[in-house]
Amino acid sequence: MIEIRNLTKKYGKITAVNDLTLTIPQGEIFGFIGPNGAGKTTTISMMAGLLSPTSGSITVCGTDMLKYPEKAKQKIGYIPDRPYIYEKLTAMEFLKFTADLFNVPQNDFITKAEAELKRFSLLDWADELIESFSHGMKQRLIMCAALFHDPELVVVDEPMVGLDPSAIRMVKILLKELAAGGTTVFMSTHTLQIAQDVCNRIGVIHKGKLIAEGTVEELTQKARADRADLEQIFMILTEVPQS
């Protein structure tokens, strides 16, 4: 689970995230949506321990991110929107590199790596250089590496960008399987249909403020929308004029 209390991030005069308070229980898939510049990536960077808040706290499965960042980061699998990847490594070498960073036991590494690469349809490319991979293959490898240490919390910034329909389906099923197994998932996305399909609850951030939070049904009521359609709810809550 993750608990965020009064989280604020200022960049000079800009308040990118403004007094955000949110609790996401274990095993929930939480979707984080909002217009461009709303503060999603800033929030996620703080959750992943990459950016210091101006004020507030983040507790990851009982561990305070600001006081014990290394311990908190061990519990997180972070999938960034623009990942950095060492392209001169093979897929297997990259997995070994990340497994070592997270102190994953050495003894069953190959067996586990092969199983995970197979899950992401990458086993046939295990020993190929990453520089020869397509964008979607790199995305799948990043996900594979981020999940390799069995994190308790998965934080994903725009998980589906550049993936083909079968990979999107695979990722949706994967996220649901992770949640069913007790992993908490925090996902930011602009793809509202995907948020509607996989998330148990959704938070809407606008100009740094969490303006609504709940199930699609609860958000429908809050927005006084005429149907449970996240796109319509988004437009109403973020004040986009309706045609």
What's the closest the beta carbon of residue 141 comes to ligand ATP, in angstroms? 22
Stretch 29-48 residues interacting with ligand ATP (CB under 6 A) = 34, 36-42
φ and ψ at residue 3, rounded to 5 degrees = -120, 125
Residue 92 is a binding residue for ligand ATP (CB under 6 A): no
Instruction: Compute how many residues bind ligand ATP; rule: CB under 6 A.
Output: 11
Torsion of the alpha carbons at 50, 55, 59 and 60, rounded to the nearest 10: -20
CA 45, CA 78: separation in Å to the nearest integer? 9
What's the closest the beta carbon of residue 93 comes to ligand ATP, in angstroms? 31
- Total Cβ atoms within 10 A of residue 166: 10
CA 187, CA 201: separation in Å to the nearest integer? 11
Half-sphere CA count of 197, side-chain side, radius 13 A: 14
**33/175 with CB nearer ligand ATP:** 33
Which of 4, 7, 16, 199 forms a contact with ligand ATP (CB under 6 A)? Answer: 16
Window of 11-19, 130-138, 166-174, 232-240 that interacts with ligand ATP by CB under 6 A:
11-19
Residue 52 is a binding residue for ligand ATP (CB under 6 A): no
Q: Which residues bind ligand ATP (CB under 6 A)?
A: 11, 14, 16, 34, 36-42
